[in-house]
Amino acid sequence: MRKIGVLGGMGPEATIYFMQQVVAAVAAQDDSDHVPLLVDNNTQVPSRIAAILEGHSADPGPVLSQMAKGLVSIGAEALVMPCNTAHYYADQVAAATNAPFLNMVDLACAEAASLAPGGKVGLLGSPALQQVAVFEAALAKEGLSPVYTRDPERALATIRAIKSEGPSARSAWTLTDICEGLAADGADVICVCCTEFSLLATDIVVKIPIYDALQVLVNRTVEYSQSGVSSSGVNTWGAAKRATS
């Protein structure tokens, strides 16, 4: 079993949820069957949304790079970062160490390609994703194109509500409504690509396939830790499906 370093705290509840899902994904008979996780649940990472959307926050990149180095220094053999918006800084994280970085955005786009080849992907996430094109290159590589909500402020307000109040029925209803708008605007599949939204992913009901980028990362984290697969393929593997109709 390879030790996996988790760059966490973005937000802390989403990090804990990621860890819970990794535990749940393993058919374990004893403690030693589980994936060993080394977690830096750093709630002091500068706001990614403030840095990208508002331009007046400290740069998260150097902090994330130091987190990566610290995790590798205590034995992490691969790194993951369960925060979609933070993947704007993924190249800095990947370059900070020699450890493989399992890129959630790349993996999520590969999953979209398996669900809707050549299609349009509705991105249910932070408005920052669109502003700095976090997903565009990975989608284009898979022959896909993005669809964004027409009401980004509503999505942002929901992120802030979940961070401050926790997941709620009201937030789940709002996300369902946003997803219906994405489908109406031509999305063939929806990717839940905000880890706050992941807390409510199973409560979203929409008439096209929907899957959670966090769950894709969970599946690949477990597979990588258990299998000993060469790191050369960590950004190109497929992922397990989840769809509702």
* Cα–Cα distance, 110 to 2 (Å, whole number): 23
| Predicted pLDDT of residue 227 | 87
Residue 147: φ, ψ to 5°: -125, 130
Answer whether residue 99 is part of any domain.
yes
Q: Is residue 240 part of a domain?
A: no
Burial tier of 107 (Cβ tally within 10 Å: 0-12, 13-18, 19+): buried
**Residue keyed to tokens 């493989």:** 100
- Distance between CA 183 and CA 37 in Å, rounded? 37
| 8 A C-beta contact, residue 122 and residue 187 | yes
80 and 164 both lie in a single domain: no
pLDDT value of residue 140: 98
| Domain residue limits at 113 | 105-213
| Residues 127, 203 share a domain | yes
**Are 14 and 86 in the same domain?**
yes
pLDDT tens for each residue of the chain, 245 residues long: 999 999 999 999 999 999 999 999 999 999 999 999 999 999 999 999 889 888 777 999 999 999 999 999 999 999 999 999 999 999 999 999 999 999 999 999 999 999 999 999 999 999 999 999 999 999 999 999 999 999 999 999 999 999 999 999 999 999 999 999 999 999 999 999 999 999 999 999 999 999 999 999 999 999 999 986 433 333 322 333 333 33
Q: Is residue 239 part of a domain?
A: no
Judgement on whether residues 63 and 41 belong to the same structural domain of the protein: yes
Residue 244: inside a domain, yes or no?
no
The number of helices, as runs of H, and strands, as runs of E, in the chain is 11, 7
Look up residue 242 and give its amino acid.
R
Q: Return the SS3 of 210.
A: strand
Asked if residue 228 belongs to a domain, the reply is yes
